[in-house]
Structure 1
Amino acid sequence: MSNQQLKIGILNLMHDKKDTQNRYHKIFSSINQNITLQFFYPKMHYLNRPVPKRVAKISNPLDLKQIKNFDGFIITGAPIEQLDFNDITYIDEFQHLIQELEKNHIQQLFFCWGAMAALNYCYGIHKTMLNEKIFGIYPHHILHHSDLLQGIDSGFLAPHARYAEMNHEEILQDSRLQIDAITNTGDLFSISSIKSPEQDFIFSHLEYDKEALANEYHREIAAHPEKAFKKPENYSLSNPVFNWKKTQRQFFTNWIKKVDEAKKLKLTLAS
């Protein structure tokens, strides 16, 4: 990997925005000191209400005019997979962002709900609700060793936390897409785009640290104490183990390498 400066934009849609930012800072600073992160929130989400101070303090309103200045862009998950895409206040802004990213051939990494919404918008893949939440740490089968799975062995562990899945048959029938890895129960881990190689869709919360699943579980209980929530599988709430840390580091190292190589190619073509 070269020592050139890389600029990564992140649209942070997670509930725990500050913790999410801290996780990404920790991951990328451990990989390469020449990475600058800039966090955004969707303006349309706060169209008729003030932006919370805690959000405004740590991130900026999404500015599509800035997108061309980034080398890579991440769109996080969001705790809204049970809603219809058309019911999301910022779905138009989300789609306009993807248009800008594609127009400027910027490397794109979509996580969880972000991956669902992007697959639906770009490829027409439909979302299906699950009978119960996929929640916990699962082993995975690698079907294709994509760029992002280099150096990662089949059987790797990673966390999942979602109430929905994308339609597998539609994905398999679409020659523009390739399923790269699935859980041992057959749920999606990652999809890459053959049509647009700069797009990668991840259904795991691979950015999570060891406490994140426990925090999510307790947050859901606090929000709806009247409901019974599934505890995360293969994971101890009282004594969590960060057994996907090595995979997390290798995966994000692979993505930064992909971003770095794409930038070098752009500079070569421009010279």
Structure 2
Amino acid sequence: MPIKLPRSLPAYDVLSKEGVMVMGESAAEHQDIRPLRIALLNLMPKKIQTENQFARLIGATPLQIELTLIRMSEHRTKNTAAEHMAEFYQPFEDVKDQKFDGLIITGAPIEHMPFEDVTYWSELCEVFEWTQTNVHSTFGVCWGGMAMINYFHDVQKHILDAKAFGCFRHQNLLPESPYLRGFSDDCVIPVSRWTEMLKPEIEASSGLNVLLDSPEVGPALVQDPAHRALYIFNHFEYDSGTLKQEYDRDVAAGTTINVPINYYPNDDPSQPPQNRWRSHAHLLYGNWISEIYQTTPYDMAKIGIEATDLRL
């Protein structure tokens, strides 16, 4: 939550430059508060696990969040009970007239496919366009982030020779970013993907800012101010045991897979894995929610039309 300070107090500018949430007295006196409407477009096969992971992160702030679960209208999942989908999920077609403060678009296990070959690509492109008029801030995760940055900026994904799999250190390239408030100079993020986005290609596209980057597995977090979006290509949302589940699944299936790097103590899969990313995961998603809270219009009809800034 922001701290209220007189606008003329020297600490106001000092803390603002450091990324601390501050609010002027005038803005605080006229502040209207309502629940934030956040939608989750869940493209992952294990719907319930993914719901839990993201709800845990966006629900860890003092703000009231109203979470809406969305699915592609025509796509039918094979890994989650139809009863669960019918009770808790709404097809995009049914929510497209609504407005949301935030939207998370998850990854999907279809990395090897060209974007245009995905069965629901046409509707997903409609979702991307819809975010520009009906969503205040969008967070694309892993394949969802790659698809969105490709759609808006034509940045291509590239197939890796081997799966990037494990926990990798990433450098904080823009500590003054409000999305990296409280971050260390570097952090560990779980990675599980067969594709990558290249930093030079991202930086060649006007208006994109790489916030987190790894010399081993490339850029992780990108800000797209023009489209009010963040793209993250890795998995801060993962539970402690998610990489273990993926590794055990592949081993059981006879799939060639390396032991996830820097995940088990001494890279020994007989040992319990160690979670080195939980605190930064909460920081990132908490910062995203905070930025939404401070900039989204109180009148939801104005979402996509204008934004406010409670710090002014």
What TM-score does the superposition give when structure 2 sets the normalisation length?
Answer: 0.78
After TM superposition, give the deviation of residue 27 of structure 1 in Å: 2.0
Q: What amino acid is aligned across from residue 193 of structure 1 in structure 2?
A: D
After TM superposition, give the deviation of residue 38 of structure 1 in Å: 1.2
After TM superposition, give the deviation of residue 25 of structure 1 in Å: 2.1
Q: How many Å separate the matches in 2 of 1:229 and 1:35?
A: 39
Residue 233 (1) aligns with residue 261 (2): yes
Q: Is the 8 A contact 1:217 1:232 kept in 2?
A: yes
2:294 corresponds to which of 248, 261, 267? 261
Q: What amino acid is aligned across from residue 12 of structure 1 in structure 2?
A: N
Q: What amino acid is aligned across from residue 105 of structure 2 in structure 1?
A: I
After TM superposition, give the deviation of residue 59 of structure 1 in Å: 2.1
Q: Is the 8 A contact 1:136 1:160 kept in 2?
A: yes
Q: What amino acid is aligned across from residue 241 of structure 1 in structure 2?
A: Q
CA gap of 1:177–1:64, structure 2 versus 1, over 3 A, is farther
Q: Is the 8 A contact 2:36 2:65 kept in 1?
A: yes
Q: What amino acid is aligned across from residue 234 of structure 1 in structure 2?
A: N
Give the secondary structure class of the aligned counterpart of 1:214.
Answer: helix
Residue 140 (1) aligns with residue 170 (2): yes
Give the secondary structure class of the aligned counterpart of 2:123.
Answer: helix
1:164 aligns to what?
Answer: 195
After TM superposition, give the deviation of residue 119 of structure 1 in Å: 0.8
Q: How many Å separate the matches in 1 of 2:255 and 2:135?
A: 44
What TM-score does the superposition give when structure 1 sets the normalisation length?
Answer: 0.89
Point out the more displaced range, 100-109 or 58-67.
Answer: 58-67
Unaligned 5+ segments in structure 1 are none
Q: How many Å separate the matches in 2 of 1:153 and 1:182?
A: 13
CA gap of 1:188–1:69, structure 2 versus 1, over 3 A, is same
Residue 104 (1) aligns with residue 137 (2): no
CA gap of 1:64–1:258, structure 2 versus 1, over 3 A, is farther
Give the secondary structure class of the aligned counterpart of 1:130.
Answer: strand
After TM superposition, give the deviation of residue 265 of structure 1 in Å: 6.7
Residue 203 (1) aligns with residue 203 (2): no
Q: How many Å separate the matches in 2 of 1:59 and 1:68?
A: 15
Q: Is the 8 A contact 1:137 1:233 kept in 2?
A: yes
2:19 aligns to what?
Answer: none
1:188 corresponds to which of 219, 243, 260? 219
Q: What amino acid is aligned across from residue 149 of structure 1 in structure 2?
A: L
1:6 aligns to what?
Answer: 36
Q: How many Å separate the matches in 2 of 1:194 and 1:26?
A: 26
% identity of equivalent residues: 29
1:84-123 to 2 correspondence within 5 Å?
Answer: 84-123=114-153
Q: Is the 8 A contact 1:112 1:204 kept in 2?
A: yes
Q: Is the 8 A contact 1:64 1:97 kept in 2?
A: no
After TM superposition, give the deviation of residue 220 of structure 1 in Å: 3.3
After TM superposition, give the deviation of residue 34 of structure 1 in Å: 0.6
Give the secondary structure class of the aligned counterpart of 2:296.
Answer: helix
1:246 corresponds to which of 256, 279, 284? 279
Equivalenced residues, count: 266
Point out the more displaced range, 202-211 or 168-177.
Answer: 168-177
2:26 aligns to what?
Answer: none
Unaligned 5+ segments in structure 2 are 3-32
Q: How many Å separate the matches in 2 of 1:78 and 1:4?
A: 32
After TM superposition, give the deviation of residue 87 of structure 1 in Å: 1.1
1:14-163 to 2 correspondence within 5 Å?
Answer: 14-32=44-62, 34-46=64-76, 52-63=82-93, 65-66=95-96, 68-145=98-175, 146-163=177-194
Q: Is the 8 A contact 1:148 1:255 kept in 2?
A: yes
Q: Deviations over 1:214-247 (max 9, x none)?
A: 112223344xx23211221101244112221110
After TM superposition, give the deviation of residue 175 of structure 1 in Å: 1.6
After TM superposition, give the deviation of residue 123 of structure 1 in Å: 0.6
After TM superposition, give the deviation of residue 162 of structure 1 in Å: 0.6
Give the secondary structure class of the aligned counterpart of 1:156.
Answer: strand
CA gap of 1:186–1:144, structure 2 versus 1, over 3 A, is farther
Q: What amino acid is aligned across from residue 95 of structure 1 in structure 2?
A: C
Q: What's the Cα RMSD here?
A: 2.5
Give the secondary structure class of the aligned counterpart of 1:32.
Answer: coil
After TM superposition, give the deviation of residue 83 of structure 1 in Å: 0.9
Q: Is the 8 A contact 1:138 1:184 kept in 2?
A: no
